[in-house]
Structure 1
Amino acid sequence: MTELRSKADHTKAILRERRVALVVNTHSRRGRRRFPEVAAQLRDAGFRPIGTFAVTDTTRLRKALDAALALEPDLLIVGGGDGTLSTAVKYVAHRDVALGVIPLGTTNNFARSLALPLDVAGAVRVFSDGKVADVDLGLAGDFTFANLSSVGVSAEVAARVRPWLKRLLGRAAYPLTAFTVLPGHRPFRVVLTVDGRRHELLTHQLNIANGRFQGGWQIAKDISIDDRKLVAYQLGSGKRLRLLLETMVRATTGRWRSLAGGPFVVGREMVLDTVPSGMAAEVDGEVLVRTPVTLRAEANGLRVMVPSDFVDT
């Protein structure tokens, strides 16, 4: 693990030296259209990137991030959706470089959890007016996640959602696609052990979140990306009709229910198993682990640029 400057010193270095590198996923929903605007806004704010990387092929994103970090910037600015940013997080975690976020995706859960503006001009303004903060990451087994780890129907939804529908409807494309998947999906049993307490339920989907948002909607008001905790909640229950009704409520109002309508389960470490065991689990949208798996919150695992009024603990 790299020795880090103090957050105050790191903030001063960014504002004084303005040594930044820029990586934009121009294959994302808005990336190609907004890339010239991003470059112009940075220039207007007094930033002259020491390296600029427009990624048209997502398979080359990791190479672009490697090249950008090799320039040793104080601030690595990344433009793209949650998938792009979750990849960048893995590169920046535990390093003496701050991540600057320009949200260009469909749902922008990570940016929302950081209370960042969702427009390009507002996001760039944070680099001049904001501060460096250390926020938490999630770990699922050995894999880092910025937003969410989940097991259940979401893998099918992610595979079926159409790019044209995402472009047309934005974040609403996911719950609407879920309506086509859920009628044929079979529920499964979850055994979740949190801080020594066992929870067992029948469900179609269990989510374990690091941040405050999923699908572009707030999960709950009293959780944070910087509270040293993960939060677990289910989508619907074992009853298909209830699941469809709750998905409809989510699609129209953004309202979330929790474990069978009860409280969210919150803790620093969670052991997730399923019946049957060996179910695939997503880590920020990628199927990387299988149950049983241990998940935990990693305090201050990521250095990021945030608005000056962000509560940094």
Structure 2
Amino acid sequence: MRSKAEHTEAIHRERKAAVVVNTKSRRGRRHYAEVLALLKERDFRLTGVHPVTDPSRLRDILTRALDSGPDLLVVGGGDGTLSSSVRHVAGRDVALGVLPLGTTNNFARSLGLPLDLAGAIGVFTEGKVADIDLGICGDRPFANLASFGVSVEVAGTVKPWLKRMLGRAAYPLTAMTVLPRHRPFRAYITVDGKRHELLTHQLNIANGRFHGGWQIARDVSIDNRRLVAYQLGSGKRLRLLGETLVRATTGKWTSLAGGPFVTGQEMLLETDPPMAADIDGEVRLRTPLVLRTIPNGVRVMVPQSFEDT
């Protein structure tokens, strides 16, 4: 592996990149030509251009893109596309360049990236290479979030047309329709030998700083070697509904020191009853599960202002 400084210099000097864009999504299809034009304006030498028309082939396409030997793998899509990309670049001497083409863009927000295409591509020429933490849920790497409870049902219920119309607000609105029939569950989180118990409808364990496009807490980081577990609401539906509405309308910031958060580098999660896990948008695995971080497990391009630890 090159040093981060050497890798940054190579990207700025050689501008050798492969491009993967999920053109199956509305935003990816609409902005695909613009992405290529902006990269060419910045004098990038493209080792491969890969539109993804069939998401089931994404892994094969990412492998082919990396086989061309780029210094930078530019990926455009939502958090699910980016999570797959993170798994491919983890531990490799290639940096991930993120294009925010999703609905909530949680990963891009956690990196402090501009949410417009020109600004995000500008980071590739003016930013720096950083190593951030990689989350692991069971045997599944993840970039941003593993969640349990009502959100798993919401992910399978939210309508594509509602996402296109309302963006990230589609998720809390869908949750309101799912919640009346959802039953609470008990979760047991063991960290550093201490067992925490809670009753809730929704539990999230975050590696990144954002969920649903809103910041979890102002002192959460994607590069602090810690996972953050937190519940929304409690066992009462009205409390969950109220907290969801507050987040949706205000994006309220809280501090880890003053909130109901459990943090640690490794967590054992048990639930009663056993629950499915939504891992960066993919419903995989069931509890009990061990979740942990791999410090500096993924190399990415970030703005110069990003605090790289």
Instruction: Specify the TM-score bucket, using the shorter chain as the normaliser.
Output: over 0.9
- Which segments of 5 or more consecutive residues in structure 1 lack a partner in the other structure? none
Shift of 1:206: 0.5
Shift of 1:264: 1.4
CA distance in 2, matches of 1:29, 1:216: 18
The aligned amino acid for 1:195 is D
Shift of 1:257: 7.5
1:116 is paired with a residue of what secondary structure?
coil
Partner of 2:83: 86
Partner of 1:165: 162
CA distance in 1, matches of 2:28, 2:283: 25
Shift of 1:186: 0.3
Taking structure 2 as the reference length, the TM-score comes to: 0.97
1:49 is paired with a residue of what secondary structure?
strand
Alignment of 1:304 with 2:276, yes or no, is no
Shift of 1:123: 0.6
Partner of 1:61: 58
1:224 is paired with a residue of what secondary structure?
coil
CA distance in 1, matches of 2:253, 2:145: 15
Which of 279, 282, 295 matches 1:283?
279
Alignment of 1:101 with 2:110, yes or no, is no
Q: 1:257 to 1:122 in 2, by over 3 A?
A: closer
Q: 1:208 to 1:291 in 2, by over 3 A?
A: same
CA distance in 2, matches of 1:109, 1:229: 17
Alignment of 1:232 with 2:229, yes or no, is yes
| Count of residue pairs brought into register by the alignment | 308
Q: 1:110 to 1:300 in 2, by over 3 A?
A: same
Range moving further from structure 2, 250-259 or 102-111: 250-259
Taking structure 1 as the reference length, the TM-score comes to: 0.96
CA distance in 2, matches of 1:90, 1:18: 23
Shift of 1:255: 2.8
Partner of 1:265: 262
Which of 24, 29, 35 matches 1:38?
35
Alignment of 1:292 with 2:292, yes or no, is no
Moved over 4 A (4+): 256-259
CA distance in 2, matches of 1:256, 1:20: 36
Please tell me whether the aligned partners of residues 233 and 258 of structure 1 are also in contact (alpha carbons under 8 angstroms): no
Cα deviations across residues 275-311 of structure 1 (Å, max 9, x unaligned)? 12x3211211212221111111110000001111111
Please tell me whether the aligned partners of residues 258 and 264 of structure 1 are also in contact (alpha carbons under 8 angstroms): no
Partner of 1:176: 173
2:230 is paired with a residue of what secondary structure?
strand
The aligned amino acid for 1:284 is D
Please tell me whether the aligned partners of residues 236 and 257 of structure 1 are also in contact (alpha carbons under 8 angstroms): no
Partner of 1:212: 209
CA distance in 2, matches of 1:244, 1:55: 37
1:50 is paired with a residue of what secondary structure?
strand
Q: What RMSD in Å do the two structures reach over aligned CA positions?
A: 1.4
The aligned amino acid for 1:56 is T
CA distance in 2, matches of 1:178, 1:29: 23
2:86 is paired with a residue of what secondary structure?
helix
Which of 106, 111, 122 matches 2:108?
111
1:208 is paired with a residue of what secondary structure?
strand
CA distance in 2, matches of 1:174, 1:256: 19
Cα deviations across residues 186-230 of structure 1 (Å, max 9, x unaligned)? 001011111211110100011000010000000000010000000
Please tell me whether the aligned partners of residues 131 and 308 of structure 1 are also in contact (alpha carbons under 8 angstroms): yes
Shift of 1:27: 1.4
CA distance in 1, matches of 2:252, 2:232: 11
Shift of 1:256: 6.7
2:45 is paired with a residue of what secondary structure?
coil
Alignment of 1:140 with 2:141, yes or no, is no
CA distance in 2, matches of 1:102, 1:163: 20
